[in-house]
Amino acid sequence: MSSEAAGHTLLQKRLALPIFASDALSSVAYATQEIMLVLTVGGTAFLYLAPWVAGAVVVLMAAVVLSYRQLVRAYPTGGGDYEVASKNIGRSAGVVVASALLVDYVMTVAVSVSSGVDNIISAAPSLSTHRVGMAVTFVVLLAAVNLRGLREAGLAFAAPTYLFATGVFIMIGTGLYRTIAGDAPVAESAKYHIETQHGYGSLSFLALMFFTLRAFSSGCTALTGVEAIANGVPAFRPPKARNAQLTLVAMGAIAVSMFMGLTALALIAKVHITDPTHTSCHFTNVAHCADKPQRTVIAQVASAVFGGPHSAGFFFVQATTALILVLAANTAFNGFPLLGAILARDKNLPAQLNNRGDRLAYSNGIVALALVAGTLIWIYDANVTKLIQLYIIGVFTSFTLGQTGMVRHWNRVIRTERDPKERRNIRNSRAINAFGASLSGVVLAIVILTKFTKGAYLVLIAMPILYMIMRAINKHYTRVSSELATDDTGLMLPSRNHVVVLVSKVHKPTLRALAYAKATRPDTLTALTVNIEDENTRALQADWERHDLPVPLTVLESPYREVTRPLLDYIKKLRADRPRDVVSVFIPEYVVGHWWEQLLHNQQALRLKGRLLFVPGVMVTSVPWLLDSSVALAQRPIRPDGPNVPPSGAAPPEPDPSPLARA
């Protein structure tokens, strides 16, 4: 796709919702489960806390959505928390947000895909041994789809997102209707008793508070992906900010409704689930339960509501849940490359991340995300409970700094605003962002405190490392820009140009290099060779005389059979004798058509070029000679409509009869 076609890839709200909100919507499939996994450490005695924990998560979700509506209105350029923190707090704060978001996007892919595989295994337990392979395969497929372009990804992912939401709402409606009618659904695990782990039988008030906060921090996974819409505003159709705000509100309303409904049904159906990371099983009345994979909470609820694990409703919910969880990683596959491109433009990451591929996607960012996420899945065996401990720290770090930056933004704007109505709106926005910043900061502290020993410390190590890497890259680019900046001296020409052509034997590549060198009209022209074997050197000199070439051949002695050092010494001496002159070195090279042929040719030329690039005042020119194996490759069109394809019926060019002229 050409660059002019970028406008046609902009998204309508109905496509933007599944692309940017699939992560936030799908997280309800495991947010309730993560709350219950923490609470059931103390058996079933603490499940009464689940509604209160879920309610706190809903309040937090509402605050974050309202806060991001203000951010989208003020900064519709798509930088999100990174741009807000950079402009209002400082560049260092922006880089901290960027490092947090990059970690979070990687974890989004790993957790979402692994959770999707969990739900597939809930429907087909026999696949449990293929967990890691399935997860890595899904990551590869997601990367491949996203490499086809943003709009194409939206079309592929829209239907599963809407089918998932429809299935969950039907399940919630059916379950609540049965409860009101007196036929409440009962989960398959309701009859299981959960063994209380040591030390959790009776808790002091402070211990109970910490226990509740830990459950709350696990439930906060429901908020992952909320920031993706703020980062993706440029991908919306005009009016961009307004459409992004409406999509954000729709996402929040749908996610909160599904989360509350699923939590309520899980408690009504008496779903019991224990932490699978422990080596022992904590169901006290189930034979061999340690060997049986537990069904997820949403799977147990669907089974209870629709009449068992073989019902059509159960399979529909499981299929759409597994699909949306896998596709939820698409939020990260969109957000990570966009953020990487913004960071690359700001010189905080390598410039290659700002390059668009043939389908107008940031291909390098997509591939990098797939590699890192796939590696994490392999290391952690695609275990959601292990991976979840590394999650959401990055989310709330960016939430907190972004909303703090918005407060400073409104403080600055209100100083110059004179319209009373607009000042009132600014005060309201500032109050919303201040509340969001305070709440996010408290949650961040809770998450760090409760998850530190469970694996969160790894994220707290990774984020500073990423921060230091980005600062080092920025310093490098800044230093290089300063070095390359022009001054007032203007264009300065060298006094003279001395050309050296490297020669190994008299053949067509050598003749072409000599012809090109003479065409540059140098002040001096020297053909240079190194004497490794006397017999070969004498044969070269004889060929030189036989061809009657009008260029002197200089032979350098090399008693230790080195090629590179004598040539470098000669060129350095030439530069030292004439410091105001420039030396141009022409190197004949073969161009081959197969990678393995490259191993058989040009190795000496590559080493020599690499050394000459570090010699000041020396220009290196490669003179290519296309071997037959490369001709077919060179004539192959880049794409069917590429500019190098001759028009239909065009006559082929006339061959030049002169080999030297053709050279």
Residue reference for tokens 């009345």: 285
- Residue 418 CB burial class (10 angstroms; 0-12, 13-18, ≥19): exposed
Q: Are 34 and 221 in contact (CB under 8 A)?
A: yes
Percent of the chain exceeding pLDDT 90 equals 28
- 584: confidence class by pLDDT, cuts 50, 70, 90: very high
79 pLDDT exceeds 80?
Answer: no
Closest CA to 82 of 405, 431, 421: 405
State the pLDDT confidence band at 150, using cuts at 50, 70 and 90: low
**pLDDT for the residue 635:** 64
**404: confidence class by pLDDT, cuts 50, 70, 90:** very high
Q: Give the pLDDT confidence score for residue 357 in this predicted structure.
A: 66
Q: Can you tell me the mean pLDDT for 97-113? A: 88
Question: If pLDDT is split at 50, 70 and 90, which confidence band does 470 have?
Answer: very high
Name the band, by pLDDT with cuts 50, 70 and 90, for residue 285.
very low
pLDDT greater than 80 at residue 434: yes
Residue of 197 and 427 predicted with greater confidence: 427
> Average pLDDT of 446-455?
81
32 vs 151: which has the higher pLDDT: 32
Convert 354-393 to b/e letters by CB count within 10 Å (16 or more is b).
bebbebbbbbbbbebbbebbbebbeebebbbbbbbbbbbb
Q: 463: how many CB neighbours lie within 10 A of its CB?
A: 21
**Strand 524-531 versus strand 497-502 pairing type:** parallel
Give just the sign of the alpha carbon dihedral 286, 288, 290, 293: negative
Q: Is the pLDDT of residue 514 over 70?
A: yes
| Percent of all residues in the chain with a pLDDT value above 70, rounded to a whole number | 85
C-beta separation of 225 from 255 below 8 A: no
- Least confident among 205-214, 304-313, 351-360, 654-663: 654-663
The 3-state DSSP class for residue 422 equals helix
Residue range 73-77: mean pLDDT, rounded: 83
- For 254-282, the pLDDT digits (tens) are 999 999 999 999 999 988 887 655 434 44
Cβ neighbors of 345 (< 8 A, separation 6 or more) are 354
Q: Is the pLDDT score of 649 beyond 50?
A: no
pLDDT band, residue 368 (cuts 50/70/90): very high
pLDDT tops 70 at residue 195? no
Which residue has better confidence, 524 or 115?
524
What's the mean pLDDT in 658-663?
42
Q: CB burial class (10 A; 0-12, 13-18, 19+) of residue 50?
A: buried
Helix spans in 75-200 (H):
80-88, 91-123, 131-147, 150-180
Report the pLDDT value the prediction gives residue 155, as an integer from 0 to 100: 63
CB 586 within 8 A of CB 502: yes
What pLDDT does 419 receive? 87
* Out of 20-29, 152-161, 555-564, 567-576, least confident range: 152-161
* In the predicted structure, residue 491 carries a pLDDT above the cut 80: no
What number is the average pLDDT over the span 304-331?
A: 86
**pLDDT level of residue 140 (50, 70, 90 thresholds):** very high
Q: 1-10, 311-320, 481-490, 503-512: lowest mean pLDDT where?
A: 1-10
**Residue 236 pLDDT exceeds 80:** yes
> Which pLDDT does position 513 carry in this prediction?
92
Which is more confidently placed, 652 or 47? Answer: 47
pLDDT given for residue 653 in this prediction: 46
Confidence at 220, pLDDT banded by 50, 70, 90? confident
Query: Is the predicted pLDDT of residue 562 greater than 90, yes or no?
Result: no
The Cα 107–Cα 328 span in angstroms is 12
Which pLDDT does position 194 carry in this prediction? 66
Confidence band, pLDDT 50/70/90 cuts, at residue 430: very high
Average pLDDT on 104-133 reads 86
Report how far apart the first and last C-alpha atoms of the chain are (Å, whole number): 36
Residue 243 predicted with pLDDT over 80:
yes
Residue entry with tokens 């923490």:
38
Band (pLDDT 50/70/90 cuts) for residue 14 is confident
Q: Is the pLDDT of residue 287 over 50?
A: no
Report the chain's mean pLDDT, rounded to a whole number: 82
What sections of 269-383 are H helices per DSSP?
A: 297-306, 312-345, 363-379
Dihedral, CA atoms, 32, 35, 40, 46, nearest 10 degrees?
A: -110
Asked whether the predicted pLDDT for residue 237 surpasses 90, the reply is: no
The per-residue pLDDT for 629 is: 76
Long-range CB contacts (within 8 A, 24+) of 239-247: 240/76, 241/72, 241/73, 241/76, 243/13, 243/16, 244/16, 244/72, 244/76, 245/69, 245/72, 245/73, 246/13, 247/13, 247/16, 247/17, 247/20, 247/21
Residue 656 pLDDT exceeds 80? no
- pLDDT per residue over 318-350, tens digit each? 888 888 887 777 778 877 888 888 888 889 999
Q: What is the pLDDT of residue 253?
A: 92
Residue 577 has a pLDDT of 85
Q: Which residue has the higher pLDDT, 197 or 178?
A: 178
Q: Is the pLDDT of residue 517 over 80?
A: yes
